[in-house]
């Protein structure tokens, strides 16, 4: 990409605006460490900063992080959104487990309520196979 005088001028203004904001000496913005304030401070349209000068935007955020030990506002918002979504997922998993348990309980209740009076409530377990050296006796009710 060829560089134009206007492009170079914008980049110079952005770098100077970065220095002013990070040194706490804003002249044309509210002094917040955001892209909006950087664009206002540099007298550059915000979208131009985001599109044409994204490398400088990234540099700004990196400098905010390293020079001020602050987390950029956009990163704070993203972290808050991620935390909120993780909590939502955990709540939905808990609700899903509760619903699964409810289905199991309702299935068992249905089976109990619809069984015939002469059926055992719980099916008897199958007898274990006897070892070769044991002789089983028939039950007395046969």
Could you report the per-residue pLDDT of 43-80, keeping only the tens digit for each? 999 999 999 999 999 999 899 888 888 887 778 889 99
Angle between helix 35-42 and helix 5-22 axes, rounded to 10 deg: 120
DSSP assignments along 47-61, one per residue: HHHHHTTHHHHHHHH
- What is the pTM for the complete model shown? 0.52
Number of H helices, E strands in the chain: 5, 0
Q: How far is CA 38 from the centre of its chain?
A: 29
pLDDT at res. 52: 92
Taking residue 41's Cβ as centre, other Cβ atoms within 10 Å add up to 24
* Burial of 42 per CB tally in 10 Å (0-12, 13-18, 19+): buried
Q: What are the sequence ranges of the domains in the chain?
A: 7-70, 73-108
What does the alpha-carbon distance between residue 72 and residue 99 come to, in Å, rounded to a whole number?
Answer: 41
For residue range 17-42, list pLDDT tens digits in order: 999 999 989 998 998 888 999 999 99
Task: Please give the mean pLDDT across all residues of the chain.
Answer: 86
């Amino acid at each position: 990409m060829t560089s134009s005088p206007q492009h170079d001028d914008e980049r110079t203004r952005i770098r100077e605006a970065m220095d002013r904001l990070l040194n706490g000496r804003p002249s044309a913005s509210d002094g917040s460490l955001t892209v909006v304030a950087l664009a206002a401070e540099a007298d550059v349209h915000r979208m131009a900063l985001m599109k044409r000068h994204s490398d400088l935007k990234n540099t700004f955020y990196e400098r905010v992080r390293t020079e001020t030990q602050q987390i950029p506002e956009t990163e704070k918002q993203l972290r808050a959104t991620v935390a909120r979504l993780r909590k939502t997922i955990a709540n939905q998993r808990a609700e899903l487990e509760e619903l699964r348990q409810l289905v199991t309980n309702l299935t068992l209740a249905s089976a109990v309520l619809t069984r015939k009076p002469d059926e055992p409530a719980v099916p008897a377990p199958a007898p274990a196979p006897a070892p070769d050296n044991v002789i089983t006796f028939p039950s007395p009710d046969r």
